[in-house]
C-alpha cells in the first residue's frame, strides 16, 4: 500500500437502525490494524420525521456523541465525531448551525442518496428518467457548493443499477467530478459497495459500486480521491477501506489520506 496511512472516516453505528455495533466495537476492530484515524459519520437525525425509520432520532444525538467520546478515550489513534447528511435546502441551517456548530462536529459528509421529486423523496439508484437524473446531479452539486460538507460519499451511487453507461451518464459523472475539483472537495471510493451484489455493466462483471468508468474519469480529470469503508458492521471498519484502496490501485489511483484531505491533520 505504498506506506499509505490506514483510516476510515465513514463509520455507522446501531443508532441508524440499519447498522450494527457501538463506536467502541468499531474502535476495537480498527485497533487490529495500523489505523491512523477513525471518523464516525452516522446518519444524522432531522428536526422532522424525515427518514426516521433509518436514521437516529434527535433525542439520541447526545447518546451518540457520548458513545463516540467514550470510544475515543479507549483508542490509540485519533477518533473524530461527525455525521453523514443528505442535501435538502430546508435543512441547511440544521446542518450548519446545529450539527456543525452547536454539536461541534469535526466533519460532515454529503451522502446524496435521495432526490426530491415534486415533494416525493426518491432513492437515486432507482431513478431511471434521464431528466430526473440530470436534476439530481445539479441538486447534489448545489449541496457540494455550500461548503458545509467535508467530502462527497459514493458519488457514483447514481450509476448503481446502470448496465450501459452512455454519453448522458458520462456527462453526469464528469459534472460531479468537475464540481468536486472546483470546490476542492474530496470524493470517496466507497468500500461498502464491494460487499454487495455485482452487475453486468458495459459487458463486464463489476461491483454495483464503485463504478470503474466513473473512477477512471475522476483519475484522468485530477480529482481529489479518498477511500472509506462506509462500515455498517464492526468487521467492515478497516476491511472495507482496504477493499476500496485495492480497487483504486487496480486503476492506478493513489488515494489521499482522508484526515489530511479534509483538513483534520
Tell me, yes or no, whether 1 lies in a domain: no
- Number of domains observed in the structure of the chain: 1
CATH number for 47 = 3.20.20.140
Is pLDDT above 70 for 54? no
pLDDT value, residue 4: 76
Which alpha helices (DSSP H) does 34-128 contain, by range? 61-74, 92-93
pLDDT value, residue 161: 96
> Domain range holding 108?
6-261
Tell me, yes or no, whether 60 lies in a domain: yes
Tell me, yes or no, whether 147 lies in a domain: yes
Contact 117, 139 (CB under 8 A): no
Percent with pLDDT over 90 in the chain: 91
| pLDDT tier for residue 49 given thresholds of 50, 70 and 90 | low
| pLDDT tier for residue 119 given thresholds of 50, 70 and 90 | confident
Tell me, yes or no, whether 145 lies in a domain: yes
Condensed to tens digits (0 to 9), the pLDDT of residues 60-110 reads: 999 999 999 999 999 999 999 999 999 999 999 999 999 999 999 999 999
pTM: 0.96
Tell me, yes or no, whether 135 lies in a domain: yes
Measure the CA–CA gap between 41 and 139, rounded to whole angstroms.
Answer: 22
Tell me, yes or no, whether 157 lies in a domain: yes
Residue, of 48 and 75, whose pLDDT is higher: 75
Q: Which of 211, 122, 117 is nearest to 161 (CA)?
A: 211
Write down the mean pLDDT value for the chain. Answer: 95
Condensed to tens digits (0 to 9), the pLDDT of residues 136-193 reads: 999 999 999 999 999 999 999 999 999 999 999 999 999 999 999 999 999 999 999 9
Contact 208, 259 (CB under 8 A): no
Place of cell 466495537: 25
Percent with pLDDT over 70 in the chain: 97
Contact 152, 186 (CB under 8 A): yes
Residue 116's CB: how many other CB atoms inside 10 A?
16
Amino acid at each position: 500500500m505504498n506506506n499509505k496511512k490506514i483510516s476510515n472516516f465513514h463509520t455507522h453505528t446501531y443508532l441508524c437502525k440499519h447498522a450494527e455495533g457501538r463506536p467502541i466495537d468499531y474502535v476495537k476492530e480498527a485497533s487490529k490494524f495500523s489505523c491512523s484515524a477513525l471518523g464516525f459519520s452516522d446518519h444524522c437525525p432531522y428536526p422532522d420525521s424525515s427518514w426516521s425509520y433509518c436514521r437516529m432520532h434527535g433525542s439520541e444525538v447526545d447518546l451518540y456523541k457520548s458513545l463516540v467520546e467514550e470510544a475515543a478515550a479507549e483508542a490509540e489513534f485519533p477518533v473524530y465525531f461527525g455525521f453523514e447528511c443528505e442535501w435538502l435546502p430546508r435543512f441547511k441551517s440544521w446542518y450548519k448551525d446545529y450539527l456543525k456548530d452547536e454539536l461541534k462536529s469535526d466533519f460532515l459528509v454529503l451522502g446524496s442518496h435521495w432526490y426530491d421529486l415534486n415533494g416525493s423523496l426518491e432513492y437515486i439508484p432507482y431513478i431511471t428518467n434521464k431528466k430526473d437524473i440530470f436534476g439530481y446531479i445539479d441538486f447534489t452539486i448545489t449541496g457540494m457548493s455550500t461548503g458545509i460538507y467535508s467530502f462527497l460519499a459514493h458519488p457514483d451511487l447514481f450509476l448503481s443499477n446502470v448496465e450501459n453507461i452512455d454519453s448522458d451518464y458520462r456527462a453526469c459523472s464528469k459534472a460531479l467530478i468537475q464540481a468536486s475539483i472546483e470546490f476542492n472537495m474530496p470524493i470517496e471510493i466507497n468500500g461498502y459497495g464491494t460487499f454487495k451484489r455485482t452487475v453486468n455493466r458495459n459487458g463486464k462483471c463489476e461491483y454495483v459500486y464503485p463504478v470503474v468508468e466513473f473512477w477512471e474519469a475522476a483519475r484522468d480529470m485530477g480529482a481529489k480521491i479518498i477511500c472509506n469503508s462506509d462500515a455498517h458492521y464492526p468487521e467492515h471498519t478497516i476491511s472495507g477501506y482496504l477493499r476500496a484502496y485495492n480497487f483504486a490501485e487496480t486503476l492506478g489511483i493513489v488515494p489521499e489520506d482522508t484526515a489530511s484531505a479534509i483538513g483534520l491533520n
